[in-house]
Amino acid sequence: AQSVTQLDSHVSVSEGTPVLLRCNYSSSYSPSLFWYVQHPNKGLQLLLKYTSAATLVKGINGFEAEFKKSETSFHLTKPSAHMSDAAEYFCVVSKSGYQKVTFGTGTKLQVIP
Amino acid sequence: EAGVTQFPSHSVIEKGQTVTLRCDPISGHDNLYWYRRVMGKEIKFLLHFVKESKQDESGMPNNRFLAERTGGTYSTLKVQPAELEDSGVYFCASSQATGSNSPLHFGNGTRLTVT
């Protein structure tokens, strides 16, 4: 069984300040972890993925995430928020090597000018 | 390369009516998935096709939902008869191969409203 918990349903940051979106996972086997982003009226876009290689994963648009097995976490960070980062972000887990994924409930990121 | 395309983008129907959603995956992608997000809840898996075969349909909520992928290209998801609780956003995704190194490419979704 696998699940993800996104600890914040809404996060608000000022433009130019750091972004932290939190995700904890539960998995009875070696997981693959992903972050997806959905902008309004758009599809889900893959930001980055962890598949048992380097624990610090760099993605698109300056985002990165660190896999911490001891904390069962995969938090998403960005050093400096941009207005275009305002969107909903989903943490996703799957069994390593499989594509049947489980989504978190999503975190809506608001960026204040 | 064209992405995953879903039709229609929005659909509003009355309870008891039938609706058919369509998904065109990326050309050459054998794997096609349907997911659904009911209002305020998480995105949930519905089913998975490999070419024209249903690989996993464990997420289909009940027999009012019928998914097909004749010829292994586009897929349809029919809801008949629709109920109020079917309202939500239906996402389609495709991938070239199974395995998490081949990521899922999602469409923009179809927003279904049942009144």
Q: Would you call A45 and B106 a contact, using CB atoms and an 8 Å cutoff?
A: yes
**pLDDT value at position B70?**
85
3-class DSSP state of B106? strand
pLDDT tens digits for B72-112? Answer: 899 999 999 999 999 999 999 998 876 656 778 999 999 99
The residue among A57, A55, A59 whose CA lies nearest residue A30 is A55
- Tens digits of per-residue pLDDT, A38-97? 998 888 999 999 887 788 999 999 999 999 999 999 999 999 999 999 999 999 998 766
Is 80 exceeded by the pLDDT of residue B1?
no
What is the pLDDT at residue A96? 65
Chain B: closest CA distance from residue A112 (Å): 24
Q: Residue B2 in contact with residue B27, Cβ under 8 Å?
A: yes
Contact yes or no for A21/A109 (Cβ under 8 A): yes
CB contact under 8 A, A43 and B91: yes
Per-residue pLDDT band for A29 (boundaries 50, 70, 90) equals: confident
Phi, psi for residue B84 in degrees, rounded to 5: -55, -40
Burial class (CB in 10 A: 0-12, 13-18, 19+), B32: buried
Residue A100 Rama label (left phi>0; alpha psi -120 to 50; beta): beta
Residue B80's alpha-carbon distances to A110, B10, B26, B59, in angstroms, are 38, 17, 27, 17
User: Are the beta carbons of A49 and B109 separated by less than 8 Å?
Assistant: no
Token code pair at residue A12: 């608000």
A22 interfacial to chain B (CB closer than 8 Å) = no
Split at pLDDT 50, 70, 90, the class of B39 is confident
**What does the pLDDT average to over B42-63?**
93
Given A97, A100, A103, which is nearest B43 (Cβ)?
A103
Q: SS3 letters for B10-47? A: EEEECCCCCEEEEEECCCCCCEEEEEEEECCCCEEEEE
Which of these ranges, A12-21, A74-83, B30-39, B97-106, has the smallest mean pLDDT?
Answer: B97-106
